[in-house]
Structure 1
């Protein structure tokens, strides 16, 4: 993830959705542990570790029941960003068909910053945690067919200037005018206050009622914030993949925790994951997806 530090927030009211956990916590944690293992070498774009992560994710895409667009889940692209040259980076994209021709795109980047000399930056929170939650949500909707078509994209190149999100939107699997919303997840698992932020409603206030339907869970609650220009580095608008959707006028909600001492450090390991908070945080995202899938109409969410 590319974000910075803390900001004010507003605790959301009007909780209406149920509290039962509908995801497999054991599998969720296993996905994060596997993706953040030393063997993945920090998952930097274009490396052998990235290829290993792709292999694992392709297996999991098939297991959870995602369908490819065409004959492959892979979307290849090149990265030329500052001093980073990656001849072939790879997004992994699948979908679950809905009854509507409108689309909700769920994203989480699987790349991280890799290795520096002998040190491995495993990126358990940033962003194996978001990918784990993406897989959990896909597994749920494969068993409970959605109203809208749901596209699930594990994106590459976020740490190199949001390149995977840009490549996805430059060569989208569905027409951009059919995309109602982007739900992006980046850092969901390390927080000791039980706080997960739903950022983006400052830009798209029509989404506030949908977020407000999501009831707090025992270990996690949603807060608004981190999306106002006057907040400077505490404004997360341009600090993860949702920004590329926002630039094109596609509404978004970004789920993430505030920065912590392990952000972009070698200590961002699976051992740091808050195993009480994280499953509830992932469930909050799933509950939001269920809410918007059921109730979001085909009208513009822009002001």
Structure 2
């Protein structure tokens, strides 16, 4: 016996299928995509991405090719923001831009950043591992967690916003060089943008997001937690306790140790770092064993996708909701 499906029922089924597809498409990045990005950036071929090296040149070209493929435009005449270190080393940040869709709000800019350099290779990478052994043969500090992981987050967000155009405010995507030499890349770009009178709303930096915490009620922490309401607003935007406060981060003043700080110094606005590693849950900081197989890509994809929701909401509020607290 054949069953004849009424037309209204067929339309209902089709509608449900369409909604399901739309929901799945909202997932902006998969764990495999994250792993592919990190695997290239932290490969031996890039020799630890030291500023001024052939390896970091390859990393920059990769980031530029990704921006171009995503449809992310250069912010300057090219993707590169060039600067010199001690008048001898040529260095460059890589900067992309997705203009906002609102005629007024697009003049306000959110910067999403991460450093893509690392410490290169040599004996300094051969520290003792958590098992007490010494890496004798591998001298390449691949920097998977520090900071190919953060770079992958910025690339994922650049892809999402270039594709969806779901940002009323403009978003700058900045990958910094020479962070390991003293935040030199972010200092250069922050000063340049300040001199050009950029209308900055907030700067959100991603640093070492490759491993989860254990026994905490949040996925990542925000540096400078007490300086602004950024953490509270991010959690409000995503509807869960995505980010929180780290005692370890405060103890070691990690707010001043990453690229957010250069922008805070110039603009005195909410410029903070999101990280899932406060050095209490990862043994391979500046170590040759900071390799791709040490990271948790399911966790990273989940964190990045939640962060995208937060950045989307941040870019669309009618007024600036991320605010500095008044100093006491």
Q: Is TM (by shorter chain) over 0.5? A: yes
2:202/2:322 contact within 8 Å kept: no
1:108/1:153 contact within 8 Å kept: yes
The residue that corresponds to 2:65 in the other structure is 59
2:114/2:176 contact within 8 Å kept: yes
The residue that corresponds to 2:289 in the other structure is 267
Structure with more of its chain in helix, by fraction: 2
Structure 2 residue ranges without an equivalent (≥5): 1-22, 124-137
Structure 1 residue 79, shift from structure 2 partner: 2.1
For the aligned residue pairs, the C-alpha RMSD in angstroms reads: 2.5
Match of 1:162 among 178, 183, 207: 183
Distance 2:322 2:42 in 1: 38
Distance 1:298 1:184 in 2: 18
Structure 1 residue 177, shift from structure 2 partner: 5.0
Matched, 1:205 2:211: no
The residue that corresponds to 1:138 in the other structure is 158
Q: 1:237-248 to 2 correspondence within 5 Å?
A: 237-248=255-266
1:45/1:112 contact within 8 Å kept: yes
The residue that corresponds to 1:4 in the other structure is none
Structure 1 residue 127, shift from structure 2 partner: 0.3
Structure 1 residue 228, shift from structure 2 partner: 9.5
Structure 1 residue ranges without an equivalent (≥5): 1-17
Structure 1 stretch 131-140 or stretch 248-257: which is displaced more? 248-257
Structure with more of its chain in strand, by fraction: 1
The residue that corresponds to 2:313 in the other structure is 291
Structure 1's consecutive aligned runs of 4 or more residues displaced over 6 angstroms after TM superposition are none
- For this pair of structures, how many residues does the alignment match? 276
Q: So what's the TM-score if we normalise by structure 2?
A: 0.77
Q: Which has the larger radius of gyration?
A: 2
Matched, 1:184 2:205: yes
The residue that corresponds to 2:220 in the other structure is 196
Distance 2:309 2:222 in 1: 12
Taking a change above 3 Å as real, the CA distance of residues 240 and 176 of structure 1, as seen in their structure-2 partners, is: farther
Structure 1 residue 70, shift from structure 2 partner: 4.1
